[in-house]
A and B are shown apart, each in its own frame.
Chain A
Amino acid sequence: MTQVENKVETRGLVEMKDLKKYFKSPRGTVHAVDGVNMSIAKGTTMGVVGESGCGKSTLGRCLINMHPATSGKIYFDGEDVTGLKGAALHKYHSRAQFIFQDPYSSLNPRYTVQQSISEPLVNEKKYSKSEIDDRTVELMKMVGVDMRFRNSYPHEMDGGRRQRVVIARALALDPEFIVCDEPVSALDVSIQAQVLNLLMDLQDQKNLTYMFITHDMSVVRHISDDISVMYLGQLVETSPSKELFIHHYHPYTKALLSAIPSTDIHHKMNRIVLKGELTSPIDPPPGCRFASRCMYAEEKCLEPQVLEEVTPNHFVACCRVHEVNEDL
């Protein structure tokens, strides 16, 4: 079974087909990711938003093969990368990388900046010492970490610098695709802006493709070309970013957007305050997972929902979408 045989025509650089990830737990099966279809075009950013426990981090980890998917397929550049192992996985990891949420725990406390950044290169075992050193210097310049930090340990640096080091490490093998899992949520606003700018500059320079996972709607709006809204392991709405903030059709997206505290003190949005909280992802019923909190829920919401293209490139998984939204 060679890679070439598996080549299929895909629209995006990264494509997911009915991706599922279940975890066994003592109380039942956790449906962390439950049938996600998604396509990310080369050079664009797909923002994945949702609340904690909606499976967005698991989705990102599945893409990089940190968790093996339970079922479904992941295609990268037309190749099936689902469940890769050994050398093939290593090759995939040189093209697809991951940036972690917490710059405090994603760096080995006993590694210097230089050691952390050069580690992926050292692991490749094909570069000479001087090549690795040169590349490390280049990477540090690229992410804006001053050379005098090269022998510093993580605890000697602030959060923003650490996250730059994490980014440099992810870039070491020159990947095409990076999953960013809440890369700025542990940082203060002013530092957050520095890191977001860096990520966007890098994307422009290297034509990178991002999957940007976050719970912060203002950040995702700023950085994404497309946005997918997740709720309990499923996509409820996918649309180009600009479109989503003007027209949002799924009741959950509406509530999510209205819940964001706005800094605009003169134009108060009408807030939709949801009842209750996220229901359990353990053995969920087959219908719409949002139904128990949804103000529009009725009988037919207990059937499984499918994503429907309501306007070009704008998909919503809600059977009542046309009834609820007058403009559709």
Chain B
Amino acid sequence: MSEDKFLKVEDLNVHYITTEQDVFAVNGVSFEMTRGKTLGLVGETGAGKTTIARAILGILPNPPAKVMGGKIYFEGRNIFELSEKDMLDIRGNKITMIFQDSMTALNPVITVGEQIAEVVELHNGGDKAAAKQRAIEMLETVGIPAERYVEYPHQFSGGMKQRVVIAIALACEPSLLLADEPTTALDVTIQAQVLELMKELNEKNDTTTILITHDLGVVAEMCDEVAVIYAGQIIEHGSLEEIFDYPMHPYTNGLFGALPSMKEDENDDRLHPIAGLPPDPTHLPEGCYFSPRCPYVTEECRHGDIPVTEIRPGHQIKCLHPQEVK
């Protein structure tokens, strides 16, 4: 059962444990992905998106992070049971990550070309010439002329650096790419270039991608599937069309409502923010974590575990009172 899925996360729980308090960062996240698809993890700051990605890559900072339970199957193997040596082999080779703050991900004293070549070398067994060839290829793939191989990161603009980071991530043709807010720091016109590039490369290499973002627009551009995260739980999961056309969870609806609209006909003067604030991850509320902010809350929402139900084919929701808005 776990073999036929490319990536399967089962009931993942991650806590950050410090002497003073425990932060419940990820609380029972499960999802599956088939090869070649792009999944968007959407949620606000502190929802646990980055933690999930780091858990898949096995780079949670321990301490304070601790996996409290759950399994992650990658190509049929539970990565929590792999040795560090096997993990090293997977990390960088088969799974790579583009970090949120990629502006600092490049080493300022090594030329960008060498930084790409270095990664390739690590994974092709030390063939320097081949690594250099591959690095030049990658630079050209991301639209940077080969003669800039010998330049240093400070000679590159923000968008160019991001391309280099993407080139490094994709140089070893990973089968799973974790992209953590890859375009958040970029301007829209540059973001458009980078997104276009990522889309193109993903299609060419059949890369499976998990795209972490808070921008629903980027999700609409890039993803096949969407999972909405709130307080470390997936509260709604389905295909892009399902989530965008039939959002059912009050939080998902709230997110769409809070977005200033770009539609020409809408003349509504006020936005519809979600009341209140996300819960304190050290003291999560009982029952549904969204219940203190939810306009449709009833007494039963405040107790026990809220089950995940399949509300429409391929559309799961963790809510007792799904709302259809449109």
A/B: CB atoms within 8 Å of each other: yes
Q: B273–A277 contact, CB under 8 A?
A: no
Best-buried of B160, B191, B193, B245 by chain A (most CB within 10 Å) = B193
Number of A residues contacting the other chain (C-beta, 8 Å)?
38
| A274 CB to nearest chain B CB (Å) | 5
Q: A261–B260 contact, CB under 8 A?
A: no
Q: Which of A96-104, A214-222, A307-315 contacts B (4 or more CB under 8 A)?
A: A214-222
Q: How far is the CA of A123 from the CA of B270 in the complex (A)?
A: 35
Q: B217–A160 contact, CB under 8 A?
A: no
User: What 0/1 pattern do residues 56 to 86 of B give for CB contact below 8 A with A?
Assistant: 0000000000000000000000000000000
Chain B residues with CB under 8 A of A52: 158, 187
Q: How far is the CA of A160 from the CA of B273 in the complex (A)?
A: 12
Q: B188–A273 contact, CB under 8 A?
A: no
Q: Which of B4-12, B94-102, B251-259, B307-315 contacts A (4 or more CB under 8 A)?
A: B251-259
Q: Is the interface of B mostly helix, strand, loop or mixed?
A: helix
Q: A222–B273 contact, CB under 8 A?
A: no
| B8 CB to nearest chain A CB (Å) | 26
A-B contact count (CB 8 A): 116
Q: B214–A273 contact, CB under 8 A?
A: no
Using CB atoms, name the residue of chain A closest to B251: A190
Number of B residues contacting the other chain (C-beta, 8 Å)?
45
Q: How far is the CA of A172 from the CA of B45 in the complex (A)?
A: 30
Interface residues of B in 16-67 (CB under 8 A from A): 44-45
Q: A260–B271 contact, CB under 8 A?
A: no
Q: A215-B187, A221-B262 are in contact. Are A193 and B44 (CB under 8 A)?
A: no
Chain A residues with CB under 8 A of B191: 259, 261
Q: A190–B189 contact, CB under 8 A?
A: no
Using CB atoms, name the residue of chain A closest to B245: A265
Chain B residues with CB under 8 A of A193: 257-260, 271-274
Chain B residues with CB under 8 A of A219: 260
Q: How far is the CA of A261 from the CA of B272 in the complex (A)?
A: 21
Q: B240 within 8 Å of A by Cβ?
A: yes
> Contacting B240 at CB < 8 Å: which of A160, A246, A265?
A265
Q: A190–B220 contact, CB under 8 A?
A: no
Q: B195 within 8 Å of A by Cβ?
A: yes
Q: A217–B262 contact, CB under 8 A?
A: yes
Q: B105 within 8 Å of A by Cβ?
A: no
Q: B241 within 8 Å of A by Cβ?
A: yes
| A106 CB to nearest chain B CB (Å) | 18
Q: B190–A277 contact, CB under 8 A?
A: yes
Chain A residues with CB under 8 A of B269: 200
Q: How far is the CA of A19 from the CA of B263 in the complex (A)?
A: 34
> Contacting A197 at CB < 8 Å: which of B45, B188, B271?
B271
Q: A188–B214 contact, CB under 8 A?
A: yes
Q: A213 within 8 Å of B by Cβ?
A: no
> Contacting B188 at CB < 8 Å: which of A189, A190, A256?
A256
| B224 CB to nearest chain A CB (Å) | 11
Q: A108 within 8 Å of B by Cβ?
A: no
Q: A51 within 8 Å of B by Cβ?
A: yes
Interface residues of B in 182-219 (CB under 8 A from A): 187-193, 195-196, 214-219
Q: A303 within 8 Å of B by Cβ?
A: no
Q: A271 within 8 Å of B by Cβ?
A: yes
Q: A189-B255, A263-B217, A263-B220 are in contact. Are A194 and B273 (CB under 8 A)?
A: yes
Chain A residues with CB under 8 A of B261: 218, 222
Chain A residues with CB under 8 A of B273: 190-194, 197
Q: How far is the CA of A263 from the CA of B260 in the complex (A)?
A: 11
Q: B151 within 8 Å of A by Cβ?
A: no
Chain A residues with CB under 8 A of B218: 261
| B158 CB to nearest chain A CB (Å) | 8
Q: How far is the CA of A260 from the CA of B260 in the complex (A)?
A: 13
| B145 CB to nearest chain A CB (Å) | 12
| A100 CB to nearest chain B CB (Å) | 19
Q: B189–A255 contact, CB under 8 A?
A: yes
Q: B277 within 8 Å of A by Cβ?
A: yes
Chain A residues with CB under 8 A of B298: none
Interface residues of A in 177-232 (CB under 8 A from B): 188-194, 196-197, 200, 215, 217-219, 221-223
User: What 0/1 pattern do residues 76 to 118 of A give for CB contact below 8 A with B?
Assistant: 0000000000000000000000000000000000000000000
Further pairs besides A200-B269, A260-B262, A261-B221: 9, Cβ < 8 Å: A51-B187, A190-B258, A193-B260, A263-B216, A263-B220, A273-B196, A277-B157, A277-B160, A278-B157
Residues of A within 8 A of B (CB): 51-52, 158, 160, 188-194, 196-197, 200, 215, 217-219, 221-223, 245-246, 255-256, 258-265, 271, 273-274, 277-278
